[in-house]
Amino acid sequence: MTVLEHASETAAEAGTYDRDIEGVLDQLDRELVALTPVKTRIREISALLVVDRLRRDAGLTAGRPTLHMSFTGNPGTGKTTVAMRMADILHRLGYIERNHVVAVTRDDLVGQYVGHTAPKTKEVLKRAYGGVLFIDEAYYLYRPENERDYGVEAIEILLQVMENERERLVVILAGYKDRMDEFFRLNPGMSSRVAHHIDFPDYTIDELLAIARLMLQAESYAFTDDAEDAFRAYLERRVRQPRFAHARSVRNAIERARLRHANRVYGDMKDGHMPGRADLVRIEAQDILKSSVFDADTVN
């Protein structure tokens, strides 16, 4: 093959990779509201992977980049969704065999008695090989206050795999930022194996409201103007309460609003009013304001 022919072939491959990856990134833009810093980092990593792939295709010396990652942020800020899209990108570029994410927590990896942890961890790894292993709240693997805790054994196995099986598996460690920082401080071997640290910021009220609109639209519902004002008031209260989980909590609130809407429409039917299309689509303020969030310091 001549130099010109090789250059032409490389250009064609570049176009294919670019279209494939841009399609995934566009999907991520549609799925996630805001999170501009996160999307920027994913685009930067994607660019690295595309160029690395082209260098290897061109016969240039290129060691496989370290792909293990850390995603930090509060619950419901998009970490799992981004992990799935990252797996898609890695698969399309040939860094993993399957577009496959295995999501686990400490309970899936750590046993309750001597000799139980290694088989559990290895079974999870067996399922994850060829794809991405997503470990949520990874800091729970390490409990320094308990010198007999079996989580250390799981960490040691993971360290070996992250170093020696990089061709077979990408590991993403996730959790609250402060706890993950402490986890890495106490486990420098783990920290040294993670190349990409991405922090997921909290959503603003406006962004949470935009997420709610998208969720409703996906199910062929819509807020009335009064209902949207009521949902904003709901969010302003809910974010100050315990166990708020951003997009996850928004989804739960929308599901409860749909339940109240259905009961309201059904009650009207029993009174002889058959719903029209608008009745079936419209979420009204009363479907939001009946939440106990507007009462005492309860969560509903």
Q: What is the domain-level CATH number for residue 228?
A: 1.10.8.60
**Structural domain boundaries, residue 191:** 3-200
Q: Which of 200, 220, 242 is the last residue of a domain?
A: 200
Q: Do 55 and 168 fall within a single domain?
A: yes
CA gap 87, 67 in Å, rounded: 11
**Residue at which a domain ends, from 153, 168, 200:** 200
**Which domain-ending residue is among 179, 200, 221?**
200
Is residue 142 domain-shared with residue 55, that is, in the same domain? yes
Whether 184 maps to a domain, the answer reads: yes
Q: Provide the b/e sequence for 197-212 (b: ≥16 CB within 10 Å).
A: bbebeebeeebbbebb
Task: Say what the pLDDT of residue 17 is.
Answer: 74
Structure tokens at 50: 């595309």
- Greatest mean pLDDT among 138-152, 172-186, 283-297: 172-186
Question: Is the same domain home to 186 and 287?
Answer: no
Q: In terms of domains, do 109 and 177 share one?
A: yes
Same-domain check for residues 238 and 181:
no
Residue 114 has pLDDT above 90, yes or no: no
| Residue 3 scores a pLDDT above 70 | no
Specify whether 175 is located in the same domain as 101.
yes
pLDDT of amino acid 295: 86
Structural domain count of the chain: 2
Q: How confident is the model at residue 56 (pLDDT cuts 50, 70, 90)?
A: confident
Is the CB of residue 208 less than 8 Å from the CB of residue 235?
yes
So what's the pLDDT on residue 298?
A: 52
Q: List, for residues 248-288, the tens digit of each pLDDT value.
A: 999 999 999 999 999 999 999 999 999 999 999 999 999 99
Q: Which of 4-13, 55-64, 122-131 has the least mean pLDDT?
A: 4-13
Could you tell me if residue 52 is inside a domain?
yes
- Sign (positive/negative) of CA torsion 12, 15, 19, 21? positive
Q: Write down the pLDDT at residue 14.
A: 62
299 within a domain of the structure (yes/no):
no
My answer on whether 188 and 259 are in the same domain is no
Q: Decide if 30 is inside a domain.
A: yes
Where helices occur in 60-204 by DSSP H, the ranges are 79-92, 106-109, 117-128, 151-164, 177-186, 188-192
Same domain, 53 and 195: yes
192 and 210 share one domain: no
Question: Is the same domain home to 34 and 90?
Answer: yes
Q: Per-residue pLDDT for 7 more than 60?
A: no
CA 154 to chain centre: 23
Same domain for 227 and 196: no
Phi, psi of 196 (to 5 degrees): -125, 115
Give this prediction's pTM.
0.87
For residue 265, give every residue at least 6 positions away whose Cβ sits within 8 Å of its Cβ, in sequence order, or none.
275, 279, 280
Residue 215 resides in a domain: yes
300 assigned to some structural domain: no
Examine the domain organization and report whether 51 and 135 are in the same domain: yes
What CATH number should be reported for the domain holding residue 139? 3.40.50.300
